[in-house]
Amino acid sequence: MSHDTVVTAAMLAIGDELLSGRTKDKNIGHLAELLTLSGIDLKEVRIVADDEEAIVEALNALRARYDYVFTSGGIGPTHDDITADAIAKAFGLPCDHDETAMTLLAEMYRRREMEFTEARQRMARMPRGAAHIANPVSTAPGFIIGNVYVMAGVPQVFQAMIDNVLPMLRTGTPVLSLAIACPYGEGDIGTPLAAIQKAHPDTSIGSYPRYIDQKFSTEIVVRGRAQAAIDAAGAEVHAMIGAIRRKKEVVENPSAEA
Amino acid sequence: MSHDTVVTAAMLAIGDELLSGRTKDKNIGHLAELLTLSGIDLKEVRIVADDEEAIVEALNALRARYDYVFTSGGIGPTHDDITADAIAKAFGLPCDHDETAMTLLAEMYRRREMEFTEARQRMARMPRGAAHIANPVSTAPGFIIGNVYVMAGVPQVFQAMIDNVLPMLRTGTPVLSLAIACPYGEGDIGTPLAAIQKAHPDTSIGSYPRYIDQKFSTEIVVRGRAQAAIDAAGAEVHAMIGAIRRKKEVVENPSAEA
């Protein structure tokens, strides 16, 4: 296990609309999936309002603790889009109209015969020295400053930006997983599963209850960074399910005991 | 404005599966909607792993800062369900098998002719002195300790529990809102909308971009605790949309100027 590389990340989703329930976030789950596939461990997510103090505090806590921080939301052209300013403030940097971003946006609006308004120019603002994250959907770039990746909240744009960002990241040893469908509820498997977890400390075994038609079943997921360790724990999980099945058959139909 | 009562809340969603992307959270958006309708301001959400230290730290930060904290996940019967222990630890309380919960669960399993296993008995554990949150779906109760409301992660159970909790809460003056569909992108409305926000400081005006068929439009939402203030700002937003429409008609068809 000592040769495994662990890379950690956090996400900061920004926007009043996520906290009012008006918008149901779609970016957290998407990022979580992509990071898992890349071998980057998403350790924490926070959602905060369009409030400078809240953004600065959360960002400084997260960027000090994790290798990467990914943000979504608040980089559009309206007065409530304050993410660029808040992030500049968190880093103690001025927030300027970036020259390359101004050129990109000016050209795009000229091509579309649209006015490059003062509001649209706000989308070129970023902390001084930030690098761009290309936005193939609507041109206005996200940006990278330190270990923080600042992206749009609109899911189509967020997804395009994260696709551009992923190849730049240092990745860890991927976490592999084995999912096993279990027809029994957590109450049936809890005690034997805890014993399996204890015997296989190089895996992390999770059990996820499902409640369908007034009946609980479980999905058991064995995670780890070594396939052999996962396979060994997985074999014991299958044996456990078989043992519970046989025990239940005996209870329901005592003649099966013979 | 001085007569408004503001009640604040945070949510702490607990579970490795939310951070791996395996499970897409459904509880945050649901709670956010219900709290908004109740006049309780959801100010922050955090998602952490099934990790005692992470849960304790996040919970202590949130419960010190907000009137209420709602948690989801980690109160089932398996070894990775450590929420009750972590919350007891955060409060410096012992985590016991609650006598009433043991009775409730023992009766339910007797009725269903199922064994009340050691794993199932784990679901009766809670910080000493906690009050129950009834669980009409699967019996095992959530609990309340201090200003913290601990609920299940399975959405059907979470929703049933929050329905039982809401009537107990102190609520604030509800935030009212007015949504206005705007056919123009944020770049068109950004500057005039900022001026309207500045002229109506007793409202909070958000604009939410939509990107459909390669075209941006916007939903503008005016929020406030007084209907008259919302109406006044809303009238100006409608006037702004009309002014942009007339300006665009002139550009596209100069003869309309006459």
User: CA of A37: which chain B residue's CA is closest?
Assistant: B20
The residues that bridge with A133 in the sheet, in sequence order, are: A142
> Mean pLDDT in each 10-residue stretch from start to end of chain A (258 residues)?
80 96 95 94 98 98 98 94 98 98 97 92 97 95 98 96 95 90 92 95 90 85 94 97 91 58
Chosen domain end from A168, A202, A228: A168
Rounded Cα distance between A219 and A202, Å, is 20
Closest CA of chain B from A24, distance in Å: 6
Same domain, A155 and A27: yes
- CATH at A70: 3.40.980.10
Amino acid at A71: T
ipTM of the complex model: 0.89
Predicted pLDDT at A254: 64
Q: Are residues B12 and B88 in the same domain?
A: yes
**Any domain includes A242:** yes
Q: Into how many domains does chain B fold?
A: 2
**In the prediction, which pLDDT does A1 show?**
44
Q: Residue B50 falls within a domain, yes or no?
A: yes
One domain, residues B143 and B52:
yes
The span from the CA of A59 to the CA of A69, in Å, is 8
Cβ contacts of A226-235, under 8 Å, gap ≥ 24: A226/A1, A226/A176, A226/A202, A227/A176, A229/A200, A229/A202, A229/A203, A230/A176, A230/A177, A230/A178, A230/A203, A231/A178, A232/A200, A233/A196, A233/A197, A233/A199, A233/A200, A233/A203, A233/A205, A234/A178, A234/A180
**Do B7 and B41 meet the contact criterion of CB atoms below 8 Å apart?**
yes
- Intra-chain end-to-end CA distance of chain B, in Å: 46
A6 in B contact zone (CB under 8 Å): no
% of residues, chain B, pLDDT over 70: 96
- Domain assignment present for residue A2? The answer is no
> Quick check: B44 pLDDT over 90?
yes
Using an 8 Å CB-CB cutoff, list chain A residues near B209.
76, 154
What is the tens place of the pLDDT at every residue in B127-165?
Answer: 999 999 999 998 999 999 999 999 999 999 999 999 999
Q: Are A223 and A229 in contact (CB under 8 A)?
A: no
Amino acid type, B102: M
CA atoms within 13 A on the CB side of B159: 9
Same domain, residue pair B60 and B163: yes
| pLDDT reported for residue A256 | 47
Count of CB atoms situated within 10 Å of the CB of B80:
23
What is the per-residue pLDDT for B1?
Answer: 44
Residue B4, pLDDT > 80, answer no
**Which residue in this structure is represented by tokens 């002139």?**
B250
Could you tell me which of B51, B41, B58 has the C-alpha nearest to residue B19?
Answer: B51
Given this model, what pLDDT does residue A252 score?
67
Quote the DSSP letter at residue A125.
E
CA pair distance A245, A247, nearest whole angstrom: 5
* A200 close to B (CB below 8 A): no
Q: Do B209 and A154 touch (CB under 8 A)?
A: yes
Cβ-Cβ pairs closer than 8 A, A with B, add up to 206
Same domain for A115 and A19, yes or no, is: yes
Beta pairing, strands A148-151 & A68-72: parallel
Largest CA distance in chain B: 85
**Which chain B residues are closer than 8 Å to A19 by Cβ?**
32, 41-45
For the beta sheet containing B7-14, the strands, ordered from the edge strand earlier in sequence to the opposite edge, are A131-133, A142-145, A148-151, A68-72, A7-14, A40-48, B40-48, B7-14, B68-72, B148-151, B142-145, B131-133
pLDDT of residue A159: 96
How many degrees, rounded to 5, is the angle at CA B170 between CA B166 and CA B174?
85
Long-range contacts of B209-218 (CB under 8 A, 24+ apart): B209/A76, B209/A154, B209/B185, B210/A154, B211/A137, B211/A138, B211/A154, B211/A156, B211/A157, B215/B185, B216/A138, B216/B185, B216/B186, B216/B187, B217/B181, B217/B182, B217/B183, B217/B184, B217/B185, B218/B182, B218/B184, B218/B185, B218/B186, B218/B189
Q: If DSSP codes are grouped into helix, strand and coil, which group holds residue B195?
A: helix
> What is the least distance, in Å, from the CA of A157 to any CA of chain B?
9
- Structural domain contains residue A44: yes
CATH code: domain of residue B210: 3.30.1370.10
**Best of B18, B79, B117 to mutate (most A CBs within 10 Å, chain A):** B79
List the domain range (segments joined by +) for residue A60.
7-168
Helix locations, A15-117, DSSP H: 16-20, 27-38, 52-65, 83-91, 99-111
Same domain, residue pair A157 and A189: no
- Chain B 101-130, residues with CB within 8 Å of chain A CB atoms: 109, 114, 117-120, 122-123
Does residue B79 fall inside a structural domain? yes
Helix, strand, coil: what percent of chain A each, to 5?
45, 25, 30
Please tell me the predicted confidence (pLDDT) of residue B256: 47
Q: Confidence class of residue B258 from pLDDT cuts 50, 70 and 90?
A: very low
Query: Are residues A153 and A247 both part of a single domain?
Result: no
Do B181 and B156 reside in the same domain of the chain? no
Domain end, chosen from A168, A203, A222, is at A168
The confidence score (pLDDT) of residue A215 equals: 82
Region of residue A73 (left: phi > 0; alpha: psi -120 to 50; beta: else): left
